[in-house]
Structure 1
């Protein structure tokens, strides 16, 4: 399974690097970044779109037709739209979320920024995001972009991933640790 994960991440890296090269060449990096963020938001909001992207049962033609309509409706065009369609044509659509993440990571690295993936039980307010950015910037010594996710199963607290480091202050983890400790004692 690890080999499949590294294979998929390798594919995502190659596609993301190629897209970044094209975007820089056309001076469209900001547009591509914005459009990919929009598409990523669409994925987060639609289980049907996730199914379309991840399921191998749809033909290339079905995926392309559906994606073309969605991209047009969302106003996603140019390199980002072509990129999504290329992934569909090459039967790599299931790797698209990883490609977007890799693109964002390459762009952040180029800008000298760090990306932090933050998962919370409820959506973070703008004030919380700003405070978190400030604290992480002080800790890493770099400007920090936050990719926020919501997972109600955390109950409370945060899980913060920056590079290879992870800080888990979630209530779920604390309760699991307590449950494990109680089993050890009993």
Structure 2
């Protein structure tokens, strides 16, 4: 989407870059990554919080008070100050996007690949480790992070997306392949 690219270029990217630079100069890249993950989980789990942050009618002081109450003592002081700057500059509605972009930049910096895994059932630790090893082999990454999602429509197996590569080892995918082969024979 063109609008999304403009949003990334004009707003999210510069703030995420600034946060990454701050993290690098203070040896807090990983800590900021943990903070970004916590912020994303918190904001994405509360429609009320999202609406409040996006509203132009909530005053800056009220937003700062709520954010300090939610995150105070749970995130790095630099990150807390960064959030307050976003409120002051009326960019707080982009907080989740900036945190997502920060994670993208941090992964690039550290050679980490994000593997988005959809499976029919919850994966155990051994299965996750197998997926990590497979993705490392395919992508030559230093590390692999897994973001898993349960998708009962897959029937069984997994679909792994790492960057532009997709590995479809699902029962649904295999049935689709069989169907295509049979259609070609008919």
TM-score range (shorter-chain normalised) is 0.7 to 0.9
- Say what the alpha-carbon RMSD is for the aligned residues: 3.2
CA contact (8 A) 1:60 1:89 kept: no
Helix, strand or coil for the counterpart of 1:76?
A: coil
Where 2:144 maps in the other structure, the secondary structure is: strand
In structure 1, C-alpha distance between the alignment counterparts of 2:170 and 2:59, rounded to whole Å: 41
Q: SS state of the match for residue 75, structure 2?
A: coil
Secondary structure of the residue aligned to 2:90 is coil
Measure the CA separation in 2 of the matches of 1:167 and 1:142: 16
Q: Which residue of 2 aligns with 1:115?
A: 114
Unaligned runs of 5+ in 1: 182-186
Structure 2 match to 1:101:
100
Of the structure 1 ranges 148-157 and 121-130, higher mean CA displacement relative to structure 2 is found in 148-157
1:61-82 Cα distance to aligned partner (Å, 9 max, x none): 2322211110016x11312222
1:9 is displaced (CA, Å) by 1.6
Alignment pair present for 1:133 and 2:132: yes
TM-score when normalising by structure 1:
0.74
> Could you tell me how far apart the structure 2 residues matched to 1:89 and 1:34 are?
24
- CA positional deviation for 1:119: 3.9
Q: Which residue of 1 aligns with 2:13?
A: 13
Between 124-133 and 156-165, the greater mean CA deviation after superposition: 156-165
Q: Does 1:165 align with 2:152?
A: no
The structure with the largest alpha-carbon Rg is: 2
1:78 to 2:77 alignment: yes
Distance 1:161 1:15, change over 3 A: farther
Q: Secondary structure at the match of 1:83?
A: helix
Tell me, yes or no, if the aligned pair for 2:36 and 2:102 is still in contact at 8 Å: no
Aligned equivalents of 1:154, 1:58: Cα separation in 2: 42
Normalising by structure 2, we get a TM-score of: 0.74
> In 2, are the aligned partners of 1:19 and 1:103 still within 8 Å (CA)?
yes
CA contact (8 A) 2:121 2:150 kept: yes
